[in-house]
Structure 1
Amino acid sequence: MNRFVAAEDSQSYAGTFIYERNGSFSTHTVWQAAEGEHTRQRLLQLDGPPSEVLLVDGDIRCASAQLAVQMPSGQAWSDKALDVAALSQWYDFHLIGDSRVAGRPAEALVVRPKDQHRYGFELHLDHESALPLKSLLLGESGQLLERLQYTQFSLGSVDPQQLQPGPSCEPVKAIDEQSGEKAVAWHSDWLPPGFRLLDSNVRSSPASGEPVSWLSYGDGLARLSVFLEPLHGAAVADARNQMGPTVAVSKRLTTTDGDVMVTVVGEVPLGTAERIALSMRAGTDQEGK
């Protein structure tokens, strides 16, 4: 696991993988070039309309359609700074034997949660690079929620032309943190053990233009976002949805300044998301929660 953590941003590679979620499949090609502390990664979906994302040092520089248009500057897709010793408080790690994926020898590792507030994983790590060639996300009863599996994978230098975005990749408009409100006047009264506040910001809603508070929480593997938007008397019903591993729970919250819609989105069990949504409170004191 420590080799995997160190490998993520330090190697150049290219490959094609299948992504399965909620019974549907899609195929993707990825290129990553690593040079010193810098990385450049392009992800291209091969099915349907052209769809791609370009990241430089973890920052999204462009994306197809309006994907991640409102993402704050510097916000990456995942938390790379994994602390395996800390994660061992919330997960058990077990090697289950040798494997073979995309024609390459691998080692299979199971990551089992110690409580009901997070999902488990099965990782097949490339023997040479420790990069994940196959990743399964498993639900509370061991059911498959998500699969990512390479069918072709190669280590080494990447053609610079393959890292250039296509015409469907639109520049991402980052929020100007100088002109926005960085402090978010909200916190959660309850979080699963090991979860902590990773980032927060205030942004404008693409639909209404209203200021929306955004908070990101994670335990090093699992991650979720909380959005809080003033309703100003609008009639909006509570909602709960799940698509594969991703849940979205919306709850109406009454405050002294009026009703607010709290929405929790992330890859955590539905009950965990609902409890976090109901625990949101005004105020910034997140320490010790």
Structure 2
Amino acid sequence: MRAIPLLALLLSGWFAVPAHADEAQDWLTRLGLAEQQQSFQGTFIYERNGSFSTHDIWHRVQDGQVRERLLRLDGSAQEVVRVNGRTQCVSGTLIAGSGDSPDSHAHALDPQTLKAFYDLAVIGKSRVAGRNAVIVALAPRDQYRYGFELHLDRKTALPLKSLLLNERGQLLERFQFTRLNTSVVPDDPGLQPSSECLPVAASSDKEQQVDTPQAWRLDWLPPGFKLTNSHARKDSQTNVVVNSLMYADGLARFSVFFEPLNGAVATESRTQLGPTVAVSRRLVASEGEVMVTVVGEIPIGTAERIALSVRQGAAPAKS
């Protein structure tokens, strides 16, 4: 009989001791505050779909402002600078994308919300980048989201390592520091972008923000996911308006995009690269065919069910 991996058992909640739940919540609360309070600099590795990359990071909290610079050290040159979470400039292949860069998943966590959809538990201790850590597991209570294992620095609660795992305990994504210095505040030269880091405007020259009434809805959402943002962008060259809806459960996120086909030939698809899935389907709308695409770090079955639930128009009023 094949042995079940211990990590899979831990994340499934079999060994999650209820007495540890409060401790796990305390650590997640500290994690949510850490990057808003603690300056640091270091080097981390990022693994996704069997591919590794190495990055330097400078993170400074000063005078109520959080400034951060990330620089990829291998492969294609990539750089991104953020101020208070807003991307200021990007370089390399990031220019053609969204400007996002791998990070620690540490963003405004609300343990009270998360515990309704994840089993939270402290499951052990470890040592990462020469620093003592506590291991916090977030095991999903259903099949609609992935599980996390977070190795948090005992001194600062910063994430020293983060593992994203599927329902079988298999690794989908890894973030891990190899060097972390919290005793020195990064200086201006370290945070200064290079000449290749090109400024990012609030909206590009080819796109403009447009206000449109809510034209789409989802008839099914995974429990706990809520609409966090919606917008429409118009390409000034093609005049095509692409609508998008963004949802989150406090940890996991996904987006739904609606692009008019205008007679173009498009193929429905389902793809997965590491933890990120993209499911596309054609939908006949009042103005013609539209390609609906669900993109996010959620199981592909979840994305498919979301895509099938898309309907045109606002939700009907409840009587």
Identity %: 52
The structure richer in helix per residue is: 2
* 8 A contact 1:184–1:202 mirrored in 2: no
* 8 A contact 2:208–2:236 mirrored in 1: no
One-letter amino acid matched to 1:96: I
Of 270, 277, 280, 2:307 maps to 277
Tell me how far 1:55 sits from its aligned partner: 0.7
Aligned residue runs from structure 1 range 90-105, under 5 A = 90-105=117-132
Of 43, 46, 53, 1:19 maps to 46
TM-score, reference length from structure 2: 0.83
* 8 A contact 1:188–1:286 mirrored in 2: no
One-letter amino acid matched to 1:259: E
- Aligned counterparts of 2:97 and 2:227: Cα–Cα separation in 1: 20
Equivalent residue number for residue 175 of structure 1: 203
Aligned residue runs from structure 1 range 123-202, under 5 A = 123-155=150-182, 156-175=184-203, 180-181=210-211, 183-202=213-232
- Aligned counterparts of 1:239 and 1:98: Cα–Cα separation in 2: 42
Q: Name the SS of the counterpart of 1:67 in structure 2.
A: helix
Q: Give the structure with higher Rg (CA).
A: 2
Structure 1 residues 253 and 246, CA, compared in 2 at 3 Å: closer, same or farther? same
The structure richer in strand per residue is: 1
One-letter amino acid matched to 1:252: R
Instruction: Supply the RMSD in Å over aligned alpha carbons.
Output: 2.6
Equivalent residue number for residue 77 of structure 2: 50
Unaligned stretches of 5+ residues in structure 1: none
Q: Name the SS of the counterpart of 2:142 in structure 1.
A: coil
TM-score, reference length from structure 1: 0.91
Of 29, 32, 37, 1:2 maps to 29
Structure 1 residues 184 and 46, CA, compared in 2 at 3 Å: closer, same or farther? farther
Q: Name the SS of the counterpart of 1:9 in structure 2.
A: helix
- Aligned counterparts of 1:79 and 1:103: Cα–Cα separation in 2: 20
* 8 A contact 2:78–2:93 mirrored in 1: no
Structure 1 residues 66 and 50, CA, compared in 2 at 3 Å: closer, same or farther? closer
2:146 aligned with 1:119: yes
One-letter amino acid matched to 1:168: E
Unaligned stretches of 5+ residues in structure 2: 1-27
One-letter amino acid matched to 1:239: S
Structure 1 residues 221 and 207, CA, compared in 2 at 3 Å: closer, same or farther? farther
Please say which of residues 123-132 and 185-194 is displaced more in the overlay. Answer: 185-194
Tell me how far 1:170 sits from its aligned partner: 1.4
- Aligned counterparts of 2:291 and 2:240: Cα–Cα separation in 1: 12
CA-to-partner distance for each residue in 1:126-182, whole Å, 9 max, x for gaps?
011101000000011110001111000011411211111112211113228995226
Q: Name the SS of the counterpart of 2:36 in structure 1.
A: coil
